[in-house]
């Protein structure tokens, strides 16, 4: 009975890929449980950068099993391209990838609708990744979704596409788009199904049996808490539950299996896409942070919005997810800033609040506490004690403000540039 969840504690892009890659050494299998190819998990190994969108970040460990669970939405063409790239490097050998037959399929029609809606929304655009995520989850909730298992059964797939086209065609026409050819889509999807036959399977039974054998399962979140459809900055969110509760529904494991939830946060905050961001830095300060942290989207290449660490939002994430520890990434990026600000509260219409409200986030004025910065390069530090005193004070203050211990600190993109790595499975309650 041993499962650990890794979640994003901000608006995504916290560096989950690197942390999951490191934790994979302690796990037997790594499971993606939500979202789809909207995610971009960046890994840097031996100086080489790799971005994964659908396959779990455990993929660089050839002896581990990678699972894409029922709660995800899978673009089969993107999956095929990603697996081919990994296999060409000798990774993801036979049996090392299982994609749930229950997972929803992202159809080309979903991507079309996502793009048309964004194009037509003007100032109201969400700034989605245009990967068809919202429309795919709409079909799932509308009980007309195509699932990965359907790609292997021609009659069933044809029937489902019928329903699907009936539902989307009027919307596409209304949005001024051209309805794609249903028969061509059917043929293409059946081809993709054939190419993916060896990886589509019953991940739910696989995970249950693995847990019964005493194996260790690492559940990998995508996106972040503030993008959660229930707990995030709605409606500027993704359409899934990236939070730890989503790990249970999305992988098919009960909460009693999960003892440890590691929240990943940057040492500052970023966001891509539209929506409220109370601690955003406009102007040169934000630009400096963006350049120092190479803050450009791994999936879309869009510049990320940058700002100070928001301890109120982080404490909210710790509570929503039940985090037992935090991993703090990109601490090295803060080097050279004379003073650092941490948001410790908000002011809303003249009143101080210490929690994240459901609405009116645009009207919040952050209340900052100022801390001393540091000049030293952190990239070669390998122990907390090797960090400058000001950096240690910054960490200690975060722990105090969010009521959660920081048990891992990342000081650079490489695997080795990580401080205080401990086996997350060894810290179970």
- List the catalytic residue out of 13, 28, 75, 139: 13
- List the catalytic residue out of 21, 41, 150, 310: 41
265 binds ligand IMP (CB under 6 A): no
128 binds ligand IMP (CB under 6 A): yes
Do 140 and 104 meet the contact criterion of CB atoms below 8 Å apart? yes
By C-alpha distance, which of 4, 60, 16 is closest to 211?
A: 4
Most distant CA pair in the chain: distance in Å? Answer: 66
133 binds ligand IMP (CB under 6 A): yes
Report the residue from 10, 38, 321, 417 that binds ligand IMP according to the rule CB under 6 A: 38
Name which of residues 327 to 346 contact ligand IMP (CB under 6 A): none
Burial 237-257 (b: 16+ CB within 10 A, else e): bbbbbbbbbbbbebbbbeeeb
Smaller CB separation from ligand IMP, 227 or 343: 227
Smaller CB separation from ligand IMP, 229 or 378: 229
Smaller CB separation from ligand IMP, 76 or 224: 224
Report the residue from 126, 219, 251, 421 that binds ligand IMP according to the rule CB under 6 A: 126
CB of 283 to ligand IMP, least distance (A): 22
By C-alpha distance, which of 167, 184, 70 is closest to 113?
A: 167
41 is catalytic: yes
Burial class, 383, CB count within 10 angstroms (exposed 0-12 / middle 13-18 / buried 19+):
exposed
CB of 85 to ligand IMP, least distance (A): 19
Do 334 and 269 meet the contact criterion of CB atoms below 8 Å apart? no
Report the residue from 2, 72, 129, 265 that binds ligand IMP according to the rule CB under 6 A: 129
Contact mark string toward ligand IMP, 407..426, x via CB under 6 A: --------------------
Q: For residue 413, how many C-alpha atoms fall within 13 Å in the half-sphere facing its CB? A: 16
Which residues, in sequence order, are bridge partners of residue 73?
Answer: 104
CB of 132 to ligand IMP, least distance (A): 8
Q: How far apart are CA 102 and CA 73, in angstroms?
A: 10
Candidates 88-96, 234-242, 363-371, 383-391: pick the segment binding ligand IMP (CB under 6 A).
234-242
Q: How far apart are CA 171 and CA 367, in angstroms?
A: 44
Work out whether the CA dihedral 310, 221, 419, 381 comes out positive or negative. Answer: negative
Q: Of all residues in this chain, which one has the CB nearest to ligand IMP in the complex?
A: 273
CB of 236 to ligand IMP, least distance (A): 6
155 is catalytic: no
65 binds ligand IMP (CB under 6 A): no
Smaller CB separation from ligand IMP, 177 or 273: 273
Number of residues that bind ligand IMP (CB under 6 A): 21
By C-alpha distance, which of 52, 68, 9, 17 is closest to 227?
A: 9
The SS3 assignment for 5 reads strand
134 binds ligand IMP (CB under 6 A): yes
- The DSSP output letter for 245 is H
306 binds ligand IMP (CB under 6 A): no
List, as one string, the DSSP characters of 81-110. HHHHHHHTTT-S-TTSEEEETTSEE--HHH
279 binds ligand IMP (CB under 6 A): no
Name which of residues 11 to 30 contact ligand IMP (CB under 6 A): 11-13
272 binds ligand IMP (CB under 6 A): yes
Name which of residues 183 to 222 contact ligand IMP (CB under 6 A): 222
42 binds ligand IMP (CB under 6 A): no
Q: How far apart are CA 400 and CA 72, in angstroms?
A: 35
The SS3 assignment for 399 reads helix
Smaller CB separation from ligand IMP, 131 or 290: 131
Q: How far apart are CA 370 and CA 7, in angstroms?
A: 28
Write out the catalytic residue numbers: 13, 41
- List residues binding ligand IMP (CB under 6 A): 11-13, 38-40, 126-129, 131, 133-134, 222-223, 227, 236, 238-239, 272-273
């Amino acid at each position: 009975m041993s499962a650990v969840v890794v979640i994003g504690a901000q608006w995504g892009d916290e560096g989950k890929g690197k942390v999951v890659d490191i934790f994979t050494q302690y796990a037997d299998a790594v499971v993606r449980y939500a979202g789809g190819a909207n995610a971009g998990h960046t890994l840097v190994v031996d100086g080489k950068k790799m971005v994964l969108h659908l396959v779990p970040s455990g993929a660089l460990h050839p002896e581990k099993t990678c699972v894409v669970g029922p709660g995800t939405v899978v673009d089969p063409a993107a999956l095929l391209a990603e697996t081919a790239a990994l296999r060409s490097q000798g990774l993801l050998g036979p049996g090392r990838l299982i994609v749930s037959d229950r997972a929803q399929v992202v159809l080309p029609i979903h991507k079309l609708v996502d793009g048309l809606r964004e194009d037509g929304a003007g100032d109201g655009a969400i700034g989605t990744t245009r990967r068809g995520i919202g429309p795919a989850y709409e079909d799932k909730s509308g009980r007309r979704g195509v699932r990965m298992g359907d790609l292997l059964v021609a009659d069933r797939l044809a029937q489902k596409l019928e329903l699907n086209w009936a539902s989307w065609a009027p919307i596409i026409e209304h949005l001024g788009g051209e309805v794609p050819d249903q028969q061509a889509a059917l043929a293409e999807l059946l081809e993709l199904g054939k190419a993916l036959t060896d990886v589509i399977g019953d991940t739910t039974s696989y995970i249950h049996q693995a847990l019964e054998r005493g194996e260790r399962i690492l559940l990998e979140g995508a996106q972040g808490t503030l993008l959660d459809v229930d707990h995030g900055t709605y409606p500027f969110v993704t359409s899934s539950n990236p939070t730890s509760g989503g790990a249970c529904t999305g992988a098919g494991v009960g909460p009693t299996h999960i003892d440890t939830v590691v929240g990943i946060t940057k040492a500052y905050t970023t966001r891509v896409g539209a929506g409220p961001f109370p601690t955003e830095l406009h102007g040169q300060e934000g630009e400096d942070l963006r350049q120092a942290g190479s803050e450009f989207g791994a999936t879309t290449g869009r510049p990320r919005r940058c700002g100070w660490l928001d301890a109120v939002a982080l404490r909210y994430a710790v509570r929503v997810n039940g985090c037992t520890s935090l991993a703090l990434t990109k601490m090295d990026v803060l080097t050279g800033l004379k003073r650092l600000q941490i948001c410790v509260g908000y002011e809303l219409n003249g009143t101080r609040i210490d929690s994240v409200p459901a609405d009116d986030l645009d009207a919040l004025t952050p209340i900052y506490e100022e801390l001393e910065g540091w000049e030293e390069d952190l990239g070669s530090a390998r122990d907390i004690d090797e960090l400058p005193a000001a950096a240690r004070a910054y960490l200690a203050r975060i722990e105090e403000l969010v009521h959660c211990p920081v048990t891992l600190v990342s000081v650079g993109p490489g695997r080795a540039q990580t401080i205080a790595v401990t086996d997350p499975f060894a810290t179970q309650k």
